[in-house]
Structure 1
Amino acid sequence: MSGAETDPAGADRDTPVIRLRGAFRTFPGPPPVTALHPLDLEVARGEYAAVIGPSGSGKSTFLNLLGLLDRPSGGTYELDGIDTGALSEARRTALRGRRIGFVFQSFHLLPYRTALENVMLAQVYNGSARAGRAEAARRVLDQVGLGHRAEALPSRMSGGERQRVAVARALVNRPSLLLCDEPTGNLDSATALRVMELFEELHGSGLTLLVITHDREVAERARRTITIRDGRLSATGAAVER
Structure 2
Amino acid sequence: MNTSSHAAAPPVIEFRSVELSYPGPPPVQALRPCDVRIEAGEYVTVVGPSGSGKSTFLNIAGLLDVPSSGCYRLDGIDTGAVSDAERAALRGTRIGFVFQSFHLLAHRSATENVELALVYQRAPRRDRRERARHALRQVGLGHRVDALPTRLSGGERQRVAIARALVTRPSLLLCDEPTGNLDSGTAASVLGLLDELHQAGMTLVVITHDAQVAARGERTLVLHDGVLADRQTVGQA
> Which residues of 2 match residues 113-192 of structure 1 at below 5 A?
113-192=108-187
Displacement, 1:125? 3.2
Q: Write the deviation string for residues 66-122 of structure 1: whole angstroms up to 9, x where unpaired.
A: 000010000000000000001111110011000000000000000000000000111
C-alpha distance in structure 2 between counterparts of 1:212 and 1:126, whole Å: 28
- Which residue of 2 is the match for residue 108 of structure 1? 103
Contact 2:20 2:31 in 1 (8 A): yes
Matched length: 233
1:75 to 2:65 alignment:
no
C-alpha distance in structure 2 between counterparts of 1:60 and 1:23, whole Å: 14
SS, match of residue 164 in structure 1: helix
C-alpha distance in structure 1 between counterparts of 2:229 and 2:24, whole Å: 25
Contact 1:22 1:40 in 2 (8 A): yes
- Which residue of 2 is the match for residue 28 of structure 1? 23
C-alpha distance in structure 2 between counterparts of 1:210 and 1:55, whole Å: 18
Q: Write the deviation string for residues 144-178 of structure 1: whole angstroms up to 9, x where unpaired.
A: 00000000000000000000000000000100000
Q: What one-letter code is carried by the residue in structure 2 that aligns with 1:60?
A: S
Aligned-pair identity in percent equals: 62
Q: What one-letter code is carried by the residue in structure 1 that aligns with 2:152?
A: M
C-alpha distance in structure 1 between counterparts of 2:122 and 2:63, whole Å: 18
Contact 1:94 1:126 in 2 (8 A): no
Q: What one-letter code is carried by the residue in structure 1 that aligns with 2:220?
A: T
Contact 1:116 1:151 in 2 (8 A): yes
Unpaired segments ≥5 residues, structure 2: none
Displacement, 1:239? 4.2
C-alpha distance in structure 2 between counterparts of 1:137 and 1:236, whole Å: 37
Match of 1:203 among 173, 185, 198: 198
C-alpha distance in structure 2 between counterparts of 1:29 and 1:126, whole Å: 39
Normalising by structure 2, we get a TM-score of 0.95
Aligned-residue CA RMSD in angstroms? 1.5
- Which residue of 1 is the match for residue 233 of structure 2? 238
C-alpha distance in structure 2 between counterparts of 1:239 and 1:56, whole Å: 27
Contact 1:225 1:239 in 2 (8 A): no
Q: Write the deviation string for residues 32-74 of structure 1: whole angstroms up to 9, x where unpaired.
A: 1100000000000000010011111001111110000010000
Match of 1:52 among 47, 56, 63: 47
Normalising by structure 1, we get a TM-score of 0.93
Contact 2:219 2:230 in 1 (8 A): no
Q: Which runs of 4+ in 1 moved over 4 A?
A: 239-242
